[in-house]
Amino acid sequence: MDAPSAMSRRDLLMLIGSVAGSAVSYRAMASMGLVHESNYNGPIKLEGNPRGASVLILGAGLAGMVAAYEMRKAGYKVKVLEYNNRAGGRNWSLRGGDTFTELGGFTQKCEFDKGLYLNPGPWRIPYHHHGVLDYCRRFGVALEPFVQVNYNAMVHSTNAFGGKPQRFREINADFTGHVAELLSKVTSQNKLDANVGKEDQEILLAALKQWGALDKNYRYVGGPESSDKRGYEKPPGGGLNGKPVYSKDIIDFSQLLRSELWASIGAGNGYEFQTTLFEPIGGMGRIGEAFQREVGDLIQFNAKVTKVRQDDKGVTATYIDSRSGGTPKTATADYCLCTIPLSVLSQIEINVNPKMQAAIRAVPYEAAVKVGLQFKRRFWEQDEHIYGGISYTNLPNRIIGYPNTDYHSAGKGVVLGAYAFGPNAYEFTALSPAERVKKAYEYGAMVHPQYRQEFENGVGVGWHRVPWTLGCAGHWTDESRAQHYDNLCQLDNRILLAGEHASYIPAWQEGAVLSSIDAITRLHKRVING
């Protein structure tokens, strides 16, 4: 028999990921130097006198407004061109009375009641996204917890349990319990001798018993241990009728595996989704609004950029009114920071070097759709005791997200009735907005029958039809990053790019913030050093 070879880092990471989940795998990769934590170290200090240098910023999303705020503070002359009539970009909340026109001419008017909203773009902020959180603190944006994992929410498949939704906690407890029982049997039969020593086997058995809610014989069965995780037939109470009735309906392991509902219960383990997560009180758009209060006087709204030219003396951007067209206008500056999404920038004439141009054209954008549904009452709380969090389904709407605010209020509520990526998102986006809302309603009614009595109105945003992004976020592959990423981020004479697409945290606001800080730090160094 050959001697066992040393375990490679790749093998180790695969083992860690398969046993412990993506969160532990991510931490292991970080310890090996393969990934990095957010490198935000507090407010940047652009030291040195820029001597009246001017900067033209294209786009008033988070990346553009971080740059505008910090560069003006450092002494630069700053002007921002923004396609929309508001700041924030994908940092956006749709509220009652808002209108939105997408490609194809469909115009939606949001009919939500006062105080209710949908976040078509980002809707949560991880605790380790230090840059976004710091700007929230500095600008007074009040936050509240975002519930990622709710054990009382639903997991649902049309192919399992007769299409009946199951409680997250029951699927989670039963899957964990069955796996723990299997591992305990293998351990007890001394089949791990080559990997786990005798003393460690005893520790492992104790850990499996606790982790999997096993009984004294290391079985996962109905009883006090399993009921403490999956719930009771009748919960403990008070008085003469207070004795609990333990759960007996343990799901058969084979049925559980074939249901594939286990694929949903690990969603909260990923590094980006571990608690605590936050959301701004009143909608994610509160962040964009706060930035606009700080730098709104620098922004030319309704400005659609059509051309960007640079030479040895400066940069000129040509733009028209995004609503009415009309006579083109120009804006000039010594330097330009462009935060326009690559999906749009690739269609704009810009004279940068061939490698940067190739990088701009190399990054496709993800498909995504969100549908918000307003209901007459908060039935998910009143009937099913679901307070915040997410339910998962194999239907095309994919998830149902419950509001994490105003618990127990007697009024109405807005549910995220669909949040889909990939093929499902393309299917939704191909529909008219009214049809998107209808489909989300029909799919959701298979999880919550109360939809049929309580639904009032909705809005649906398909990001490939949003004219100022043409997609949700930049999609990198390992190969495209290796070939194009550095070329995308380099300062090309007087033009520099920033945004979530110019980061290793694509699709997250933190990526936009960190990209902007990195870009303006390098640009400032260039200006100061000449």
Residue 269 belongs to some domain of the structure? no
The answer to whether residues 306 and 428 belong to one domain is no
Residue 443 belongs to some domain of the structure? yes
Query: Within 13 Å and on the Cβ side, how many CA atoms surround 267?
Result: 20
Residue 213 belongs to some domain of the structure? yes
Specify whether the CB–CB gap between 197 and 253 falls below 8 A: no
Per-residue pLDDT of the chain (530 residues), as tens digits, is 333 334 344 444 444 443 444 333 433 443 333 444 577 888 899 999 999 999 999 999 999 999 999 999 999 999 999 999 999 999 999 999 999 999 999 999 999 999 999 999 999 999 999 999 999 999 999 999 999 999 999 999 999 999 999 999 999 999 999 999 999 999 888 777 677 888 889 999 999 999 999 999 999 999 999 999 999 999 999 999 999 999 999 999 999 999 999 999 998 999 999 999 999 999 999 999 999 999 999 999 999 999 999 999 999 999 999 999 999 999 999 999 999 999 999 999 999 999 999 999 999 999 999 999 999 999 999 999 999 999 999 999 999 999 999 999 999 999 999 999 999 999 999 999 999 999 999 999 999 999 999 999 999 999 999 999 999 999 999 999 999 999 999 999 999 999 999 999 999 999 999 999 999 999 999 999 98
**Cβ partners under 8 Å of residue 143, min gap 6:** 125, 133, 136, 278, 279, 280, 281
Structural domain boundaries, residue 236 = 168-259
Specify whether the CB–CB gap between 316 and 334 falls below 8 A: no
Which region holds residue 164: left if phi is over 0, alpha if psi is between -120 and 50, else beta?
beta
Domain boundary residue, one of 440, 465, 490:
465
The answer to whether residues 279 and 391 belong to one domain is yes
Per DSSP, the three-state class of 404 is coil
Which H helix or E strand runs over 68?
Answer: helix 62-73
The answer to whether residues 238 and 340 belong to one domain is no
Residue 267 belongs to some domain of the structure? no
As a 3-state breakdown, the chain gives helix, strand, coil percent values, each rounded to 5, of 40, 20, 40
State how far the Cα of 171 lies from the Cα of 160, in Å rounded to an integer: 12
| Dihedral Cα 273, 275, 276, 278, nearest 10 deg | 30
Q: How many structural domains are present in the chain?
A: 4
Domain boundary residue, one of 465, 486, 521:
465
State how far the Cα of 409 lies from the Cα of 115, in Å rounded to an integer: 12
State how far the Cα of 21 lies from the Cα of 449, in Å rounded to an integer: 33
User: Which strand ranges, in their side-by-side order, compose the sheet holding 325-333?
Assistant: 325-333, 315-321, 303-310, 349-350
The answer to whether residues 225 and 191 belong to one domain is yes
Please tell me the predicted confidence (pLDDT) of residue 196.
80
Rg (CA), the chain: 26
Q: 451: burial class by Cβ within 10 Å (0-12, 13-18, 19+)?
A: buried
Count the neighbouring beta carbons within 10 Å of the beta carbon of residue 212.
25
Count the neighbouring beta carbons within 10 Å of the beta carbon of residue 365.
22
The answer to whether residues 373 and 457 belong to one domain is yes
DSSP 199-251: HHHHHHHHHHHHHHT--TTS---SSHHHHHHH--SB---SGGG---B----PP
Q: 343: burial class by Cβ within 10 Å (0-12, 13-18, 19+)?
A: buried
Residue 208 belongs to some domain of the structure? yes
Specify whether the CB–CB gap between 515 and 338 falls below 8 A: no
Can you give the pTM of this predicted structure?
0.91
Say what angle helices 509-529 and 62-73 make with each other, to 10 degrees: 40
Residue 160 belongs to some domain of the structure? no
The answer to whether residues 378 and 279 belong to one domain is yes
Specify whether the CB–CB gap between 60 and 82 falls below 8 A: yes
Count the neighbouring beta carbons within 10 Å of the beta carbon of residue 10.
8
Specify the CATH number for the domain of residue 71.
Answer: 3.50.50.60
Please tell me the predicted confidence (pLDDT) of residue 482.
97
Single-letter code of the amino acid located at 314: G
Please tell me the predicted confidence (pLDDT) of residue 37.
56
Which region holds residue 262: left if phi is over 0, alpha if psi is between -120 and 50, else beta?
alpha
The answer to whether residues 353 and 486 belong to one domain is yes
The answer to whether residues 175 and 133 belong to one domain is no
Please tell me the predicted confidence (pLDDT) of residue 189.
84
Specify the CATH number for the domain of residue 461.
Answer: 3.90.660.10
Please tell me the predicted confidence (pLDDT) of residue 40.
87
The answer to whether residues 279 and 396 belong to one domain is yes
Specify the CATH number for the domain of residue 221.
Answer: 1.20.1440.240
The answer to whether residues 176 and 292 belong to one domain is no
Q: How do strand 413-421 and strand 368-375 relate by DSSP bridges?
A: antiparallel
Q: Where are the alpha helices (DSSP H) in 413-508?
A: 422-429, 433-444, 451-454, 478-480, 486-489
The answer to whether residues 135 and 243 belong to one domain is no
Q: Counting every residue, how long is the chain?
A: 530
Say what angle helices 22-31 and 9-20 make with each other, to 10 degrees: 150
The answer to whether residues 223 and 358 belong to one domain is no
Q: What angle do CA 325, 347, 108 make, to 5 degrees?
A: 55
Residue 148 belongs to some domain of the structure? yes
- Cα 350 to the center of its chain, rounded Å: 31
Q: What angle do CA 221, 223, 229 make, to 5 degrees?
A: 85
Please tell me the predicted confidence (pLDDT) of residue 32.
38
Which H helix or E strand runs over 303?
Answer: strand 303-310
Residue 87 belongs to some domain of the structure? no
Q: Which residues pair with 279 in a beta bridge?
A: 144
State how far the Cα of 349 lies from the Cα of 316, in Å rounded to an integer: 12
Specify whether the CB–CB gap between 92 and 119 falls below 8 A: yes
Domain boundary residue, one of 465, 490, 513:
465
Please tell me the predicted confidence (pLDDT) of residue 20.
40
